[in-house]
Each structure stands twice: as C-alpha cells, then as structure tokens.
C-alpha cells in the first residue's frame, strides 16, 4: 500500500483528489490541511478511516511537515491560497502559503528522498488576447498578473530549482479552471449556482467576455494520478479539457440549465487586472500519458455540478452568508 501525503486535501480540488485516489487505487492518504475558510472537514466525510486520516496544520510548520513526509511515499501538494480577489486585498497569506509553504515541503522531500508532485495553475502564464488562436504550452513564458498568480509562479520555479540543484524527484502540473463538487461558494461557478438557488440574480464582472478554459475536477485529478504514476521526473504537464467559455456564456448556461431566462443577471464593475483569456494545450499530457477527459461536454459537467449543489445545501449553506457579505462590501 502506497502512502500519499496530500496537502490541502480538505479543499476543493484536494478533497476530490483524495476521493479519486481512494476509489481508484489501494493507497492510503494522510491529509494535511490548515482548515482555513477554504478547507472543510465535511468535504472528507464518509471516507474510510483505515485509509484516510486528517491532520490539521500548516505547510509552513517545518517540524510537522518533516514528520509527515518521513512517513510518506509520495507528496501531492494542493495547498494554496488561491482566490484572486483576496490576493488583491491582502497578498501576505499568499506569500506565506504559496512560497514559504512550498519551500518547507521541498526541503522535507529533499531530506527524505520522497517523490513530489506540485499542483499549479495556468494563471502563471498571464493571459492571452481574446482573438489570439494560441494556447498555453509547457514552453510558454511565465507572466503572472496578480499576487496569487505571482506566488504560484514563484512556487513552480522553486520546484524546478530543487529538481535541478538537489535532485528532488518532482513533477509539476498547471491546470485550467476547475469546477465540480465541494468548491467554495466564493468561486465563480458555485457562487452563481447558489445565488440562483437562493433567488438572487447572478453578477458578472464587466462585459463578461473574459475566457476561461474549464475542466471538471474529476478529469483534473485523473490526470494528476496519471502524472504521479507515469510522468517523467522534472517535467511539467499542462492539464486542460478544451473547455473555453467566456464568463457570460457560463452564467447564461447556468441560468438556462436551472430553468431561468438566460439574461437574468446583472453586470458589476470589472476586477482590477482581470486576465482576458486562458487556454491550455494538453497535447503533451495526452500523447505521453494517454490521458483523456471524461467530461467532453461542458454543459453535461455543469448540469452534474448544479445537481450536486442542489442536493448538498447542508455543505455550502454555512459559508454562504459570510461570502456574500464580503462581496457586498465591495459592491460585487
């Protein structure tokens, strides 16, 4: 039985990854999560205690991290501060978690010779023009535009340096925007879904023409497991499912799928530095590792996600009021 240490495993993508690992392998998982507002112990409810344990703590706690890495065969690093709006309001937690936390993990896996996989984002590449046919590849230069994406870019570069300088056995994946179950209601898709459930008109930044390349979280995590098992050490793999949609299209599809007029939303002032377009070329991942997404239809994946939020109000309701109160203070 392989032992995985999953940081941030009570968060959105991390908790779905833990569920994916337990369903598709014989591995045992230790989750290390600080259980900040974005981490939720309820996201791991019902998992077998003989194969999954949760440790509450910070990835910046060197002694704790070292003790957990010493008992692991593999470290998969999801833990991150990841909300762009929050990074604009206060960058300091992003520096601590995304940079200092990654450094702490790298030093631990270096000491113990442990295999390491680093989860990152396509936002490290900046953005593309709306009419640009190009997509991000593993060779695209980094050009981050927010404190969040800058600290994630820095963490990627730390991993690359530790591979080259110290021989750490690591891989990196940069993924497009995820959607699916267990995503915090501050994020774009679950916020719109839960607003519609509550009878509140969705709100759209600016004209809503900003494009994101959407991927269902289950497809992302299947790719991560493929990289962990078959990826080449020192390599970076981009994970994407050809799901480019602008934000207006997404809101209108949510409204349509939930039985409302497609134009039943309001526009609000755009976010400062709002990236125009992300798009991922996942040819390397598909060619080398044979991965393909299961959700090839964004509408089907979104319909499943809507059904999940409708059926799991007890999971998201406790965080909804505080989230909307925070947005109300900024007029968004």
Q: Assess whether 122 carries a catalytic annotation.
A: yes
CB 98 within 8 A of CB 155: yes
Paired sense of beta strands 74-77 and 3-7, if any: parallel
CB 175 within 8 A of CB 218: no
Instruction: Please tell me which residue in 123, 218, 219, 244 is annotated as part of the active site.
Output: 123
Which member of 27, 122, 244, 275 is catalytic?
Answer: 122
Non-local (6+) Cβ contacts of 136 within 8 A are: 122, 125, 128, 174, 238, 278, 279, 280, 281
Catalytic residue, from 148, 179, 265, 295: name it: 148
Residue 292's closest CA among 222, 210, 236? 222
d(CA 1, CA 169): 20
Q: Decide: residue 272, CB within 10 A, 0-12 exposed, 13-18 middle, 19+ buried.
A: exposed
Residues 12 and 217 sit within 8 Å (Cβ to Cβ): yes
281 catalytic per annotation = no
Instruction: Report the distance separating Cα 291 and Cα 15, nearest Å.
Output: 21
| Three-state SS at 327 | helix
- Which single residue is written with the structure tokens 């569920």? 19
Coil, strand or helix: which one is 294? coil
**Six token digits for residue 83:** 């909300």
Residues labelled catalytic: 122-123, 148
């Amino acid at each position: 039985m392989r032992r995985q240490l999953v940081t941030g495993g009570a968060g959105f993508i991390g908790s779905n990854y833990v569920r994916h690992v337990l369903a598709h392998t014989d591995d045992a998982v230790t989750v290390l999560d600080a259980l900040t507002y974005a981490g939720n112990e309820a996201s791991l409810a019902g998992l077998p205690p003989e194969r999954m344990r949760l440790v509450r703590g910070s990835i910046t706690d060197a002694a704790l991290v070292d003790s957990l890495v010493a008992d692991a065969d593999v470290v998969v690093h999801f833990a991150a501060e990841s909300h762009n709006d929050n990074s604009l309001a206060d960058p300091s937690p992003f520096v601590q978690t995304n940079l200092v936390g990654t450094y702490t993990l790298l030093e631990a896996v270096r000491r113990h010779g442990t295999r390491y996989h680093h989860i990152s984002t396509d936002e490290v590449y900046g953005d593309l023009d709306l009419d640009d046919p190009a997509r991000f590849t593993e060779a695209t230069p980094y050009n981050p535009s927010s404190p969040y994406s800058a600290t994630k870019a820095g963490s990627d570069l730390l991993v690359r340096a530790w591979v080259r300088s110290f021989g750490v056995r690591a891989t990196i994946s940069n993924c497009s925007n995820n959607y699916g179950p267990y995503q915090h209601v501050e994020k774009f898709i679950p916020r719109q879904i839960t607003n519609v459930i509550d009878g509140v008109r969705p709100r759209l930044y600016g004209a809503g023409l900003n494009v994101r390349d959407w991927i269902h979280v289950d497809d992302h995590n299947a790719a991560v497991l493929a990289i962990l098992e078959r990826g080449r050490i020192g390599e970076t793999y981009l994970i994407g499912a050809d799901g480019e949609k602008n934000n207006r299209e997404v809101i209108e599809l949510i409204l349509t799928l939930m039985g409302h007029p497609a134009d039943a939303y309001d526009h609000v002032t755009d976010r400062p530095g709002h990236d125009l377009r992300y798009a991922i070329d996942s040819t390397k991942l598909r060619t080398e590792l044979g991965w393909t997404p299961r959700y090839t239809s964004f509408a089907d994946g979104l319909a499943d996600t809507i059904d999940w939020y409708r059926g799991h109000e007890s999971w998201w309701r406790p965080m909804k009021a505080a989230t909307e109160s925070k947005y109300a203070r900024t007029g968004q």
